[in-house]
Amino acid sequence: GDSPGMNACVRSVVRTAIYHGNRVFGIKRGYQGMIDNDIEEMHLDSVGGIIKLGGTILYTARCREFLKKEGREKAFKSLKKNKIDSLIVIGGDGSFRGLYDFINEFSIQGIGVPGTIDNDLYGTDYTIGFDTAVNTALEAIDRIRDTAQSHNRLFLIEVMGRHSGYIAVYTGIGGGAEDILIPETLTDIKGLTEKLKKGHKRGKKSSIVIVAEGDEAGNAFEIKKKIEKLVNWEIRVSVIGHVQRGGNPTALDRLLASRMGYESVLAIMKGQSGKMLGIVNDQVNLVLLKDTWTKKKKIHPSYIKLAEILAT
């Protein structure tokens, strides 16, 4: 999938690689383009003006063929045809699993760069696109707060995050949510309802509950049904959806993407392979590709406590 800031990363890879005397090729539609030999040499001006663009100029695709050895063989042939000996793959765990298999089977060097709005990859504090997604969702939440406040309503707002509550926690704290439901913690519907009633009694003019789409108690519509069994309030649901994946990247995402692109080229030039280039505590952190999906990046418990205290 795409995430805002990927273009800034592509630009950085291209310009850093050329600066150091390398040739760079852009592979369209991810692994599918590699199989189809949809590959073009990139030059300094191929990436002009793209730092501020969302999406990805290289496009992206799901590629079932690459899951099979025959598909990966075809992809390797395309790389050889273009005299490509190393790969920089920007993406999430699916992209990294593919890269892991590929470089274990063929003599090719490969580095992964974390690009996903979910921020769920182990080995990096932040992934490219997360900050933009949080800011986009937060703007929507602020707008919903205005209407919720006018009607004294309860809103359940669903944000993205298939297996991760990062977007939910960041937007929940930033948007002053009354509660945040995430897959990393057990959702207690009765407890939630009691808490909302208490707030209402205290004179709160509106309530917003952020629901991560992957919450184990269900999506926002399913949670609405469960709450409705316990109270007779008017509840509205708002699913922010793919709007979180698009748009111009924030300053932080442009910077992160530029830095990661630059460092990934240096890592390749130093002979590194089979790793993801993360940034932890502002330092480059090369972590084994496999660790990025087998180890779980935990949301620091202090965020959960903070959200709880501020929501009272």
Compare residues 93 and 178 and give the one whose CB is closer to ligand F6P: 93
Taking the C-alpha atoms of residue 19 and residue 77, their distance in angstroms, rounded to an integer, is 27
Binding site for ligand F6P (CB under 6 A): 1, 92, 116-118, 160-162, 213, 245
Compare residues 246 and 274 and give the one whose CB is closer to ligand F6P: 246
At its nearest, how many Å lie between ligand F6P and the CB of residue 169? 14
Compare residues 16 and 164 and give the one whose CB is closer to ligand F6P: 164
Q: How many residues does the chain have?
A: 312
Note the helical H segments in 57-129. Answer: 69-81, 93-105
Is 118 one of the catalytic residues?
yes
At its nearest, how many Å lie between ligand F6P and the CB of residue 267? 24
The residue whose Cβ lies closest to ligand F6P is 160
At its nearest, how many Å lie between ligand F6P and the CB of residue 246? 11
Tokens of 272: 């590194």
Q: Which residues contact 59 (CB under 8 A, 6 or more apart)?
A: 28, 29, 30, 33
Catalytic residue, chosen from 2, 93, 118, 179, is 118
Q: What is the largest CA-CA distance in the chain?
A: 70
At its nearest, how many Å lie between ligand F6P and the CB of residue 297? 14
Compare residues 32 and 207 and give the one whose CB is closer to ligand F6P: 32
Residue type, 172: G
Taking the C-alpha atoms of residue 227 and residue 190, their distance in angstroms, rounded to an integer, is 8
Taking the C-alpha atoms of residue 231 and residue 167, their distance in angstroms, rounded to an integer, is 28
Catalytic residue numbers, as ranges: 118
